[in-house]
Amino acid sequence: MSDIIETNGLCKQYGKFLRVKDLDLKVPGGAVYGFLGPNGAGKSTTMKMLLGIARPTAGTISVFGKQVNSRNRLSILKHVGSLIESPSYYGHLTGAENLRIICVLKGVPDRDINRVLQIVRLENQKEKKVAQYSMGMKQRLGLACALLGNPKLLILDEPTNGLDPAGIQEMRELICSLPQQYGMTVMVSSHLLSEIDQIAANVGIISHGELVFQDRLSTLHERSRTSIAVRTQNNEAAVRIFDEQGVSCRRQDDYLLLPKLSDNELAGHISGLFESKIGVVRIEERRKSLEDIFIELTGTAVSL
């Protein structure tokens, strides 16, 4: 499917600080796009620019194939639902009253209120004042608000913030179901790699305002290759023997890292070491985790 969101050279400067640098996002349609990055990487700023609530310093944004400008912004946003940072609500009004206000302003029929309340499972709480809602309920109301009018695109900024584990699970399932059930494209940001790993098909990783990776999540997984770590009593000599055997290896601390080998191949190479009287003291299988890749890409430890 073609790209629903496309940005070219998107930049945002606050004072002298370039918060977002030359961002070229491509969000394919009909799937969940995970927008991943450490805290302060520029995720929210980017999403705000997509929604027109922050002005880009440079660059262009296209949504549904149309370049967004001040004249067509609202007509494009009619088909976009959003939940940015914390949910927006009037605490002194009930959940249903809150939704009715947005319904009227969006030009969506009133009957949509019950539909979205059912989706987020708030139908029994709709007559309660939002000030009395728990954080999780407010977050779900925010999502219900974003779902009003059945938009083609949902932009959700850290939607699981402040939710308990059960709420997080529920929100994830809901987000995953939206593309299949309603044909929506969902762009969801998070600083949690494990979360994006569970819900997204495509991923963009942003670090210090720059896009450091963008592709299918499976491509990222392919990078998490397995290697064999061998520690010997004479690594220099072992390297020479592996070279003679045609096995490329590289050093890491006290270990030699070999590519993934079959059991027979590995047994043969290790026998070679024994024959050369090199003592082998450790043999370990190592798998580069997604977190390792994330840290490699962003230079920042990932939140789990």
Q: Provide the binding-site residues for another protein, judged by CB under 8 A.
A: 48, 51-55, 74, 77, 80, 82, 84-93, 97, 100-102, 104-106, 130, 145
* Distance of closest approach, residue 169 Cβ to another protein, in angstroms: 26
Our CB check for another protein shows the closer of 130 and 249 to be 130
User: Strand pairing of 202-207 and 210-216?
Assistant: antiparallel
Our CB check for another protein shows the closer of 148 and 228 to be 148
* Distance of closest approach, residue 111 Cβ to another protein, in angstroms: 18
* Distance of closest approach, residue 156 Cβ to another protein, in angstroms: 13
For residue 286, what are its two tokens? 């190592």
- Please identify which residue in the block is written with the tokens 């977002």: 20
Q: How far apart are CA 64 and CA 79, in angstroms?
A: 9
Q: How far apart are CA 166 and CA 32, in angstroms?
A: 21
* Distance of closest approach, residue 232 Cβ to another protein, in angstroms: 60
Our CB check for another protein shows the closer of 137 and 217 to be 137
Our CB check for another protein shows the closer of 153 and 256 to be 153
Our CB check for another protein shows the closer of 74 and 267 to be 74
* Distance of closest approach, residue 57 Cβ to another protein, in angstroms: 12
Is the separation of the CB atoms in 145 and 102 below 8 Å?
yes
Our CB check for another protein shows the closer of 80 and 171 to be 80
Helix (H, G, I), strand (E, B) or coil at 250: strand
- The answer for residues whose C-beta is within 8 angstroms of residue 25's C-beta and 6 or more apart is 5, 6, 7, 10, 46, 204, 211, 214
The amino acid that residue 236 corresponds to is E
The amino acid that residue 275 corresponds to is E
For residue 227, what are its two tokens? 């290697």
Q: How far apart are CA 97 and CA 115, in angstroms?
A: 15
Q: How far apart are CA 275 and CA 273, in angstroms?
A: 5
* Distance of closest approach, residue 104 Cβ to another protein, in angstroms: 6
Chain Cα centroid distance, residue 275: 50
